[in-house]
């Protein structure tokens, strides 16, 4: 049984960390309640990505929080991360599974009902419903799904799910009540003055919304 909890899923973005070291922001967020961390790096070299992944994995280990690598199968393999997250235009799922093995966590972004139907044919570990709302942190996304889109996808999906895209304290409750198992955030934590407090407040909203 793979050990992971989708409740509060942090996706990193160094450019939003207000100049603070990524490791520091992430560790504070984990202390506040973050349950999974995805390392996303679009602009650095492979060596920098690998080195950062190793640092983050070491940082997260004492908290038993899984490190998920965004897109880069080679980095996930090289640093022995707990998992990989892929999008619709990344390496095909069956290749990723074959190379990483059955014990690693693999998440897949779904952007519409058809993606979710196709995902049901795969033994992925979770889906990322993306984007729920419009967001400035990721510009290459599909049209926003809205709460009705989250509800439609979670009703037909056999996989646990996180909503991602434009999520903050004001709309977290709505996303959980629309059927998502957790939320995935970037700027709501990465750009917060106090990442631990921001994570704690989001975590509390999620737990209350599930009651």
Does 7 show up as a binding residue in the annotation?
Answer: no
pLDDT given for residue 142 in this prediction: 76
Contact 183, 9 (CB under 8 A): yes
Does 38 show up as a binding residue in the annotation?
Answer: yes
* Burial group, residue 185, by CB count within 10 angstroms (0-12, 13-18, 19+): buried
Does 5 show up as a binding residue in the annotation?
Answer: no
pLDDT exceeds cutoff 60 at 1: no
Does 34 show up as a binding residue in the annotation?
Answer: no
pTM: 0.96
- The Cα-based distances of 75 to 53, 78, 197 in angstroms read 8, 5, 31
pLDDT given for residue 195 in this prediction: 98
Give the residue among 6, 29, 5 at the shortest CA–CA distance from 182. 6
pLDDT given for residue 143 in this prediction: 87
Does 15 show up as a binding residue in the annotation?
Answer: no
Does 187 show up as a binding residue in the annotation?
Answer: yes
pLDDT exceeds cutoff 60 at 171: yes
Query: Each residue of 50-84: pLDDT tens digit?
Result: 999 999 999 999 999 999 999 999 999 999 999 99
pLDDT given for residue 134 in this prediction: 84
Does 135 show up as a binding residue in the annotation?
Answer: yes
- The Cα-based distances of 72 to 81, 100, 168, 207 in angstroms read 11, 12, 27, 32
pLDDT given for residue 199 in this prediction: 98
Does 40 show up as a binding residue in the annotation?
Answer: yes
Query: Each residue of 139-160: pLDDT tens digit?
Result: 566 789 999 999 999 999 999 9
Contact 186, 202 (CB under 8 A): no
Contact 46, 56 (CB under 8 A): no
The domains found in the chain, sorted by start residue, are: 8-210 (3.20.20.70)
pLDDT given for residue 126 in this prediction: 98
Does 157 show up as a binding residue in the annotation?
Answer: no
Does 39 show up as a binding residue in the annotation?
Answer: yes
Does 42 show up as a binding residue in the annotation?
Answer: yes
């Amino acid at each position: 049984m793979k050990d992971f909890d989708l409740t509060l899923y942090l996706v990193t973005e160094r450019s939003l960390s207000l100049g603070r070291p990524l490791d520091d922001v992430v560790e504070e967020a984990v202390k506040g309640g973050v349950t999974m961390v995805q390392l996303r790096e679009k602009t650095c070299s492979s060596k920098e990505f690998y080195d950062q992944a190793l640092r983050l994995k070491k940082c997260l280990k004492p908290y038993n929080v899984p490190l998920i690598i965004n897109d880069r199968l080679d980095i996930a393999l090289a640093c022995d991360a707990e998992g990989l997250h892929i999008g619709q235009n990344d390496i095909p799922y069956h290749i990723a599974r074959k190379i990483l093995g059955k014990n690693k966590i693999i998440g897949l972004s779904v952007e519409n009902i058809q993606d979710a139907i196709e995902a049901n044919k795969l033994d992925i570990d979770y889906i990322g419903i993306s984007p729920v709302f419009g967001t400035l942190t990721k510009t290459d996304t599909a049209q926003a799904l809205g709460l009705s889109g989250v509800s439609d996808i979670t009703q037909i999906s056999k996989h646990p799910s996180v909503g991602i895209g434009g999520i903050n304290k004001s709309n977290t409750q709505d996303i959980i009540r629309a059927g998502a198992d957790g939320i995935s955030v970037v700027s709501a934590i990465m750009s917060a003055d106090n990442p631990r407090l921001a994570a704690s407040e989001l975590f509390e909203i999620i737990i209350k919304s599930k009651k």
